Amino acid sequence: MTAVNLPPEVPADIQPGDAVRPGRPVHVSRYTLAARINHWITAISLVALALSGMALFTPRLFFLTGLFGGGQWTRTLHPWIGVVLFCSFAILFVRFWRANLPARVDVTWLAHANDLLAGREEKMPEVGKYNAGQKGVFWAMSALIIVLIVSGIVMWDQYFYDLTTIPQKRVAILVHAMAAVVIICVWIVHVYAAIWVKGTMGAMTRGEVTGGWAWRHHRKWLRELVSRKPRAPAE
Amino acid sequence: MFPPIPNPSVSPDAAKPRFGEKDIMRRSASEVTPPAQRLTEVAKLIDVSKCIGCKACQAACLEWNNLTEEIGFNHGVYENPMDLTPNTFTLMRFTEWENPETENLEWLIRKDGCMHCEDPGCLKACPAPGAIVQYSNGIVDFQHENCIGCGYCIKGCPFNIPRISKVDHTAYKCTLCSDRVAVGQGPACQKACPTQAIVFGTKQEMKDWADFRIKDLKSRGFENAGLYDPQGVGGTHVMYVLHHADQPSIYANLPDNPRISPIVDAWKGVTKYVGLAAMGFAAAAGFLHYVVAGPNRVTAEDEENAEKLTEGKGPAKGPPSAPPPAPPSGPAGHEGRAT
């Protein structure tokens, strides 16, 4: 069940805790409890950051500061939530990066992205734990969070005012705003994918999906799990 | 000599403010209807050629605004403190400049502080509604109860003036003594200046007075004497008479051509609209796709195939390219790594 027991040639996209439980329907464990907690801390931080950030981004959304106890509190909390997000995502990154390494099949998958959106799922290649879209979200989030934390520290005047010049801070603030817009768009894609592809939410709530879901969306991953089933306990 | 502003009248009417909320021309992060009639623009004129560096203005500013500066250190220079602070709204800056033409050492003394720009960068950058206002007489004032202490005004300001207090976490700068001006008085610094290096009046009066001073300076050999009223920020309501107006930056880095940074313009302008549009577009595209394409559901057939796969029978309809069940380390089980 644990990584220690895996044979050395275990595919990179099989992660600790991934396992198949036969039955009707088949259940497939996709995320451990720790991974899910880790994910939801990151998710809550990201939403809080988007709301507090947008409140300071445009006067039309300034009223959102009310959610955080007013303007002063929003200004104080936003960077600290950013620190929480950064740390939480860093752990998430360590968990997921190997399964998100690019693979040849990603090119084929991307070439057929239109078929996926049009509902012609049968034309898609078999993919491992993550498809190219999910990998894109993962790497985009990783890169953008680094940009945001670095530019955020430059504009965190309360503690880091003396480290940079005002012209540098101006660049940081523009970069921060642009990166934030992009990460919110990436987040919309991520959330939409989870809503659109039915059966996905269970992966991050109960930690498991049905065999049919795995068959339909991550067949290669399912095959890999089935082929090493004897090593995984049934229950 | 410029006629001094008379002492205030003691009649009760004199205490009635002459401008206020109704005269707000711009308000940060808000849209206001500018007053139909603009008040006469006021200005403070600082004639650096008459300044003796006594710092009476600095002391008067602290006193009128009830500010106490921290006890600092002697850094071996005349500036004290070394920079503007949340308590020091105005600061004498001293420059020893060697004139390359005459090889004379010139002691340039400039009273630094808010310039009260006609197009204030601080106000443009401010995200908090009403934290910065501009009255129609040209005074730019911070409203501390609305300030959130984000420091965006610092990035917006072309003159590096606002400072955030570590005590109440709001931004501070010269108010042009808006409270004194409101009752017909000049700013405290102007009142205290013993040489009339600081004078206060309407902007037109100050320009006229500056002309007179510039003529005088030119007659004394300062042929580049001139008025510093930078048009890059629409002109200012604190102006300087400089004996070397061709090179303002020799006066402790007074900007030669101040303007709101294009980065700040881009951030508060195009980024905001493009950003909101991009986020709106992403959300709308998702919604439309859901409506048009419908949800992506797992079929009963998918579940059956998974069941067959786990039971080792192999699914009825596997894709021809990948014969089920896939061998654990066969060609289909190992992806080539692209990187």
CATH for B239: 3.30.70.20
Are residues B233 and B276 located together in one domain of the fold?
A: no
Q: How far is A24 from chain B (nearest CA, A)?
A: 7
Q: Looking at A58-132, which runs of residues are DSSP E strands?
A: none
Are residues B163 and B135 located together in one domain of the fold?
A: yes
pLDDT of residue A223: 94
Are residues B247 and B100 located together in one domain of the fold?
A: yes
- Which residues from chain A sit within 8 angstroms of residue B339, using beta carbons? 101-102
Question: First-to-last CA distance in chain A?
Answer: 11
Of B299, B307, B335, the CB nearest to A105: B335
Report if residue B334 sits inside a domain: no
Report if residue B304 sits inside a domain: yes
d(CA A154, CA B212): 46
Tell me the angle at which helices A166-196 and A33-57 cross, rounded to the nearest 10 degrees. Answer: 130
Report if residue B170 sits inside a domain: yes
Of A102, A192, A197, the CB nearest to B339: A102
Report if residue B332 sits inside a domain: no
Of A59, A70, A104, the CB nearest to B335: A104
Q: What is the DSSP string of A72-83?
A: HHHHHHHHHHHH
Are residues B203 and B304 located together in one domain of the fold?
A: no
Q: Is B20 exposed, middle or buried (0-12, 13-18, 19+ CB in 10 A)?
A: exposed
pLDDT of residue B277: 97
Are residues B137 and B52 located together in one domain of the fold?
A: yes
Are residues B247 and B175 located together in one domain of the fold?
A: yes
User: Are A212 and B267 within 8 A, CB to CB?
Assistant: no
Report if residue B68 sits inside a domain: yes
Whether complex ipTM tops 0.95: no
Q: Rounded to 5 degrees, what are φ and ψ at B241?
A: -100, 120
What separation in angstroms does the CA of A209 have from each of A200, A205, B216, B306?
A: 7, 10, 87, 12
* Domains identified in chain B, total number: 2
Report if residue B245 sits inside a domain: yes
From A159, which residue of chain B is nearest by alpha-carbon distance? B166
Contact partners, residue B108, CB within 8 Å, separation at least 6 = B48, B94, B95, B96, B97, B250, B251, B252
What separation in angstroms does the CA of B170 have from each of B24, B25, B150, B163, B166?
A: 21, 22, 8, 8, 8
Can you read off the two tokens belonging to residue B74? 């002697």
Are residues B96 and B187 located together in one domain of the fold?
A: yes
From B313, which residue of chain A is nearest by alpha-carbon distance? A226
pLDDT of residue A9: 67
pLDDT of residue B330: 37
pLDDT of residue B313: 62
Q: How far is B67 from chain A (nearest CA, A)?
A: 21
Three-state DSSP at A20 gives strand
User: Are B289 and A117 within 8 A, CB to CB?
Assistant: yes
Q: How far is A104 from chain B (nearest CA, A)?
A: 6
User: Are B296 and A178 within 8 A, CB to CB?
Assistant: no
Contact partners, residue B87, CB within 8 Å, separation at least 6 = B62, B67, B68, B69, B70, B172
d(CA A180, CA A166): 21
Are residues B279 and B151 located together in one domain of the fold?
A: no
Secondary structure, 3-state, chain B: CCCCCCCCCCCHHHHCCCCCHHHEEEECCCCCCCCCCCCCCEEEEEEHHHCCCCCHHHHHHHHHCCCCCCCCCCCCCCCCCCCCCCCCCCEEEEEEEECCCCCCEEEEEEEECCCCECCCHHHHHCCCCCCEEEECCCCEEECHHHCCCCCHHHHHCCCCCCEECCCCCCEECCCCCHHHHHCCCCCHHHHHCCCCCEEEEEHHHHHHHHHHHHHHHHHCCCCCCEEECCHHHCCECEEEEECCCCCHHHCCCCCCCCCCCHHHHHHHCHHHHHHHHHHHHHHHHHHHHHHHHCCECCCHHHHHHHHHHHCCCCCCCCCCCCCCCCCCCCCCCCCCECC
Report if residue B316 sits inside a domain: no
pLDDT < 70 positions in chain A? 1-9, 229-235
Are residues B246 and B300 located together in one domain of the fold?
A: no
Q: In what order do the strands lie in the sheet with B238-242?
A: B198-202, B42-47, B238-242, B226-228
What separation in angstroms does the CA of B272 have from each of A136, B99, B155?
A: 25, 47, 17
- Which residues from chain A sit within 8 angstroms of residue B289, using beta carbons? 117, 192, 196
pLDDT of residue B9: 80
Active-site choice (A78, A190, A217, A218): A190
What separation in angstroms does the CA of B36 have from each of B23, B118, B183?
A: 9, 17, 22
Print pLDDT tens along chain B (339 aa). 888 888 878 888 778 888 999 999 999 999 999 999 999 999 999 999 999 999 999 999 999 999 999 898 999 999 999 999 999 999 999 999 999 999 999 999 999 999 999 999 999 999 999 999 999 999 999 999 999 999 999 999 999 999 999 999 999 999 999 999 999 999 999 999 999 999 999 999 999 999 999 999 999 999 999 999 999 999 999 999 999 999 999 999 999 999 999 999 999 999 999 999 999 999 999 999 999 999 999 999 999 999 999 987 655 444 444 444 443 443 333 433 433
pLDDT of residue B248: 97
pLDDT of residue A4: 52
A27 annotated active-site: no
Are residues B137 and B232 located together in one domain of the fold?
A: yes
From A180, which residue of chain B is nearest by alpha-carbon distance? B275
Element (H, E) at A232: none
Are residues B55 and B189 located together in one domain of the fold?
A: yes
Element (H, E) at A217: helix A211-217
- Which residues from chain B sit within 8 angstroms of residue A211, using beta carbons? 302-303, 306-307, 309-310
Three-state DSSP at A31 gives coil
d(CA A221, CA A135): 14
Parent domain of B95 = 14-268
Report if residue B214 sits inside a domain: yes
Are residues B258 and B301 located together in one domain of the fold?
A: no
User: Are A226 and B146 within 8 A, CB to CB?
Assistant: no
d(CA B69, CA B89): 10
